[in-house]
Structure 1
């Protein structure tokens, strides 16, 4: 499963055999995996606390351990409540299920199983709970480390989980992609070469094909519609000729027309390119 953050609203894509099932099943699995990751993080830091208690007290207070355990798992329980409301309100209604059936009628590589809008109270609450938990638990762990010296146990989950959360927040704010290669392109703003995935040479053709792209059609289906797809081409130069944009590719080909360019990462950094 993948959260696609460079489209509006953000979409949830599902790959593998699950993409052929109903969208609400994949949507439930997405939230289940998200909650499982949060529970895993909490369990790691609960283990650190129990080690801390065992090292400092011969007979640790059971009441204190129960209270700390409940407090640690409280964010995960709140997240489960919010996610249950999201599934009930966004995935289970008949209107939503029918909409996703139409959207995924011709499934190729992936299916759309949901949207991440962060406009309702459950979605905002779930985001705040997960964000505050991931930010606060490493801080609490580092404080415990200063008392007992559990450096390795604290730093390993901090290094594993915190960077991925920073990446998640980065792509949410910048609306770039989650894939590592696309993230590298979005961070590197001033690159010289741009990989072109698709070049549509006529606007009226693009107007017919872009809906197919939005419906997640495959590249083969696009080519059968009469659109020339040039993949893995490097942009060598850009110039204007008679109000047309001329794109010079590395293999010597020149494309002259009112171009619509779909490139990896950011748009081409030349001011002379007019993308639609």
Structure 2
């Protein structure tokens, strides 16, 4: 039986890390199928992603041996099986283009995720969820009920065993507490080319400034609004003739594509956090 894994790691840079990792895998019967590394000269950190096959040891044995291997390097590493799609919960409000795109890509086999639930503060997309046989949870959110609503949301994430939460145009600001609980595993799509036009109604801000490019940004969620580490961005050209409604319509396609790429890369373990930035092995 073929067992395939992805190993991701980061540590202070020093000579011999690639040799050591390759040797560790070779000694355990591992066959490297894909490898990439990056040395950040500004921080002195080394990053690496290795996809390999290994039939001689179980996932648990590999993980345990990696723990001891990593200690002399002061290395943070994670081992993932490529046969298990990433359990995912999607949050959405009243704009459904990103949700619809993710569901279609998932069912078409284009995303290595398993969408376990959809959570929304509106009822608009319960029929869409039902058409894909995905549980739909309507959790209204007001200023008064936000703590209780977020507790229910996090309970769903936990009960579904979700490794990833996608804010697919979920138009509620998550509390600092929920941001901390979802740190490194929640991706948001913002409908502007950050750091420009943060916050609400960025297309209106862009139209007011007469921009020639509109964009979308997929980033990890942090307590600082629209300032999390950026995973992917893209733009579409605009001109003086475009109304706010035209910009919004144009932007939907860009948002959907940017978010889908970010979800794909994250679920393939190609994104490594590097402080306020990311290292992405495409």
Q: Give the TM-score normalised by the residue count of structure 2.
A: 0.20
Larger strand percent: 2
Q: Which has the higher contact order (CA 8 A, sep 6+)?
A: 1
Q: Give the TM-score normalised by the residue count of structure 1.
A: 0.21
Bigger-Rg structure (1/2): 1
